[in-house]
Amino acid sequence: MDDLNFLHQSYQPDSKGSESSEYDELEGFGLNPKIIIVEDDKIFGLSLKKYLMKTLNCEIELFENSMDCLSYLLNMPNVKSPFCLITDISLEHGGDGLLLIDNLKEKKFNFVSIAMTGFASIETAIAATKKGVYHYLTKPFELDNLQTLVLEAISNKLGVKTSLIKMRQSKTGSSKSKNKELRLESPKEEDFFCGMIGRSQAMKDIFERIEKVALTESTVFITGPSGTGKELVANAIHNLSSRAKFNQVSVNCGAIPGELLESELFGHTKGSFTGAISNRKGRFEQANNGSIFLDEIGDMPQLLQVKLLRVLQNKTIEPIGSNETLNIDTRVIAATHRDIELMVSENTFREDLYYRLNVIPIKIPALKDRKEDIPLLLSYFVNRFVSADGSNEIRFSNETLKMLLNYDWPGNVRELENIIERLIILRGGNEILPEDLPAKIYRHNPLATDHYKQIFELPKDGVDLKKVLSDIEDSLILQALGFTEGNKNQASKLLNLNRTTLIEKMKKKSLHT
């Protein structure tokens, strides 16, 4: 999460703290205290760590629970070393933040603490104050305020004048970068590989593995979410192999009815079943000396899985209605978006077939896990669909581009391609504004605040704002729980909340599923 502008400010430092040059260059002992973060929300915890690593010259450790944190601190070479603890109060696993503070005090650690919570209350604020917490932050908050607090806490409470470095960009520089126009970068020649585009390390690793695998005769098993380009990987393996001069045949096992799939794969003889008016070669025979790509193999019926296992073991096929066994030399490349290991454990996919297929695995990451490739893909698909005369070329406003870059793309590259094609067809020749995007992207993105402006019309005699907002919050929480059938973990993701924050809100509001 590089762009954290959606965090709202809950702590406002005084003018002295925000404008003073006190932290520009803190003189002192030359010993930088560690910063310890305890946060069970992985994404938020990593965001805090990444931000503080960029802005402060400190060693930073991140833990998801208090037990791991305590174990780490007890094993430090010098337990008297000062550190700043930033901890969530409510932790899903391994105790809570205030209890951790108590334990550290009992063991005479030299530290200062900053507490965070997703749902503030007078009781928790009082409890935090009694523990001697330096400051109590309510999520969401501005990260630069946290940085200021850390500097103040280390300087004022630990008495350590460290050589901490302030933000690397001045406030004016940071402001300029926020307002700077975003531009898409066209992919370079080295970003292309056999019809795929990728500059991220994850994709470079995939490309390297494809090159190595292509030189072998081994069976390859490609996994990854729908729309990530599994067929492109299969094509690349075939085209770079010694079998490239022979056929590559593709079969979507999920698109062909089970009763027809056997005939499709292995062929049949005339009269072997109703409608078999002539002999027909199967896909394996058509791909002899070449490669066969079995897409969505997780959808293959179990009876057919047995026959496929025999083909892989014996390198022979037997067409339906024939007593003749045909020898074949066909390389198998299989793929699925399903969790095959889970299917094996549930006995819906044969374990022996899985191990036969999974000789060389290739797992393609979801697009959300390689977001640095999104600008390249956006630029590529825009150029691909725009007409030769450029009359339907589209441009993206800054806000629109931010939404596209921050969207999780559940349909992966295929979804991105389809949306760009649709925008060029429907809005070609114009600047694309946020409202031009599909509703799922517009609603999903925290930048789309204007979306909610017209949901409620203010009556002439006014409203009780606190009650209306509370009622809306109650409704959204109950809707999220309804969509997920009471699963709080999934509901918290729909609401972009920490799970513990959602549970605290439900308890406070007495909401039940």
Helix axes 143-156, 42-55, angle to 10 degrees: 60
Distances (CA, A) of 228 to 203, 285, 366, 403, 486: 11, 29, 6, 20, 30
Mean pLDDT of the chain: 82
Looking at domain 465-509, its CATH superfamily turns out to be Homeodomain-like (1.10.10.60)
pLDDT at 5 over 60: no
What residue type is assigned to position 127 of the chain? A
- More confident site: 459 or 385: 385
Element of type H or E holding 295: strand 291-295
Its CATH architecture, for the domain 215-363, is 3-Layer(aba) Sandwich (3.40)
| Residue 288: Cβ within 10 Å count | 17
* CB crowding 362-395: b at 16 or more within 10 Å, else e: bebbbbeebbebbbbbbbbbbeebbeeeeebebe
Residue 36: what pLDDT?
94
Neighbour-count burial of 176, counting CB atoms closer than 10 A to its CB (0-12 exposed, 13-18 middle, 19+ buried): exposed
Cis geometry, peptide bond prior to residue 187 (ω within 30 degrees of 0): no
Neighbour-count burial of 153, counting CB atoms closer than 10 A to its CB (0-12 exposed, 13-18 middle, 19+ buried): buried
CA torsion 85→90→93→97, rounded to 10°? 30
- Pick the range with the lowest mean pLDDT from 131-145, 170-184, 343-357, 497-511: 170-184
Residue 497: what pLDDT?
86
15-179 and 215-363 share one fold: yes
Do residues 225 and 412 lie in contact, with contact meaning Cβ atoms separated by under 8 Å? yes
Distances (CA, A) of 54 to 149, 166, 179, 406: 16, 10, 20, 21
Q: How confident is the model at residue 61 (pLDDT cuts 50, 70, 90)?
A: very high
Q: How confident is the model at residue 174 (pLDDT cuts 50, 70, 90)?
A: very low
Residue at token pair 């390689």: 370
pLDDT at 150 over 50: yes
How far is residue 372's CA from residue 187's CA, in Å, rounded to a whole number? Answer: 12
Residue (of 220, 354, 340) closest to 291 by Cα position? 220
How far is residue 59's CA from residue 35's CA, in Å, rounded to a whole number? Answer: 6
Edge-to-edge strand order for the sheet containing 83-88? 60-63, 34-38, 83-88, 111-117, 135-138
Distances (CA, A) of 279 to 214, 288, 319, 322, 330: 33, 17, 9, 10, 21
pLDDT at 122 over 70: no
Beta strands (DSSP E) in 412-487 are 431-432
Its CATH architecture, for the domain 367-444, is Orthogonal Bundle (1.10)
pLDDT at 258 over 60: yes
State the fold for domain 15-179. Rossmann fold (3.40.50)
pLDDT at 165 over 80: no
Q: How confident is the model at residue 136 (pLDDT cuts 50, 70, 90)?
A: confident
Angle CA(60)–CA(66)–CA(69) in degrees, nearest 5?
40
Q: How confident is the model at residue 456 (pLDDT cuts 50, 70, 90)?
A: low
Residue 1: what pLDDT?
41
- The pLDDT tens digits of the residues spanning 329-384 come to 999 999 999 999 999 999 999 999 999 999 999 999 999 999 999 999 999 999 99
Residue at token pair 């999934």: 490
How far is residue 163's CA from residue 165's CA, in Å, rounded to a whole number? Answer: 6
Do residues 266 and 307 lie in contact, with contact meaning Cβ atoms separated by under 8 Å? yes
Residue 31: what pLDDT?
55
What is the full DSSP assignment across 317-377?
E--BT----EE---EEEEEESS-HHHHHHTTSS-HHHHHHHTTEEEEPPPGGGGGGGHHHH
Q: How confident is the model at residue 495 (pLDDT cuts 50, 70, 90)?
A: confident
**How far out from the chain centre does Cα 173 lie?**
30
- Pick the range with the lowest mean pLDDT from 57-71, 86-100, 332-346: 86-100
Dihedral pair phi/psi, residue 467, rounded to 5°: -70, -40
How far is residue 170's CA from residue 320's CA, in Å, rounded to a whole number? Answer: 74
Six-digit token pair at 479? 């809707």
What residue type is assigned to position 196 of the chain? M
How far is residue 452's CA from residue 442's CA, in Å, rounded to a whole number? Answer: 11
- More confident site: 15 or 80: 80
**How far out from the chain centre does Cα 446 lie?**
16
pLDDT at 290 over 80: yes
Distances (CA, A) of 93 to 96, 500, 504: 8, 10, 15
Give the pLDDT mean for 97-116: 88
Give the pLDDT mean for 37-65: 86
Q: In terms of C-beta distances under 8 Å and separation of at least 24 residues, what long-range contacts does 177-184 make, across chains too? A: 178/5, 181/398, 182/396, 182/398, 182/401, 182/402, 182/405, 184/375, 184/378, 184/379, 184/382, 184/396, 184/401
Distances (CA, A) of 17 to 77, 155, 167, 270: 34, 12, 14, 87
Residue (of 124, 112, 148) closest to 17 by Cα position? 148
Residue 167: what pLDDT?
40
Residue at token pair 């030189």: 215
Domain ranges of the chain: 15-179, 215-363, 367-444, 465-509
- The separation between the first and the last C-alpha atoms of the chain, rounded to the nearest angstrom, is 31
How long is the chain? 513
- The pLDDT tens digits of the residues spanning 397-416 come to 888 898 898 889 999 999 99
By DSSP bridging, strand 83-88 and strand 34-38 are parallel
Q: How confident is the model at residue 246 (pLDDT cuts 50, 70, 90)?
A: very high
